[in-house]
Amino acid sequence: MGKFRRFVDSNGLKELFLHGRAFTWSNERDNPTLTKIDRAFVSVDWELDHPDGLLQALSTAISDHCPLHLAMEDHLQPHRRFRFESFWTKLDGFDEAVVEAWTCDPSISDPFLRLDVLLRKTSHDLTAWGQRKIGNVKLQIAMANWIILQLDQLEDSVITDQNGKEEAFYNAYKELLGMYQAREHTIDLDCLGITPLDPQELDAIYTEEEVYSVIKSMPSERAPGPDGFIGLFFHRDWSIIKDDIMAAIHKL
């Protein structure tokens, strides 16, 4: 093994990426041991001369190893991986499409081969069914994003003067908070068993115990604000900083 490693290093060899499989050997037990012990090495010059090379593992019934197949076609394009779209299940006719697609040759008796054929056929048929049902999804998403971009450009405007900034902030918070309106109906809290609270208590000054309880609940390794001070700083140095913090809170 040492000689092999020195040979690889001295010749500057690199391992080809194996597509479609993470392991190439199994002990084929109920709790299998899976390893990758079948590899292909090439030089940098070879890889530059053959940029379209594709290394894949083949299946076999006569060995616990996977034969490796290196395709050298100039314009080799791997098949596009199937992706099940969750929104398909919400479309009319989905169940019927699955029932129609989930069929295969009844002469196939091997359960693994049968399942493989069923899954491949269903993936192909569902992809075609989805495209017929709603069209090209990527094209529709691109069109929707383009329309949203146009609307955003129409709505957005750049404000540079002070009065415009103040008005923009005021309008934003006004829409967020809403406007006061007299209620035509109210909630009977006594009937619901909820004790009414005096809103004036919200104006009460925070006590040091209340503030410190919040500080103790802060994550130690995270900064609660843009200043960068993490919670551990407030935990450790509360006795030093509490007077200033409380003074700032009371100033609010």
Q: Read off the amino acid at residue 222.
A: R
Q: What is d(CA 97, CA 120) in angstroms, rounded to the nearest whole number?
A: 14
The reported pLDDT for the residue numbered 78 is 53
Q: Which is nearest to 25 in space by CA: 54, 56, 55, 67?
A: 67
| Token reading at 135 | 């069209």
Q: Which is nearest to 120 in space by CA: 106, 137, 95, 103?
A: 103
The reported pLDDT for the residue numbered 225 is 64
Q: What is the CA radius of gyration of the chain?
A: 33
The reported pLDDT for the residue numbered 154 is 61
DSSP 8-state code for residue 81: P
With a threshold of 0.95, does the pTM exceed it? no
The reported pLDDT for the residue numbered 77 is 54
Number of H helices and E strands in the chain, helices first, is: 10, 7
Q: Quick one: angle between helices 208-216 and 238-251, nearest 10?
A: 120
The reported pLDDT for the residue numbered 73 is 66
Q: What is d(CA 123, CA 129) in angstroms, rounded to the nearest whole number?
A: 10
% of the chain at pLDDT higher than 90: 0
Pick out the chain residues at pLDDT < 70.
60-62, 73-81, 136-137, 152-155, 157, 223-228, 252
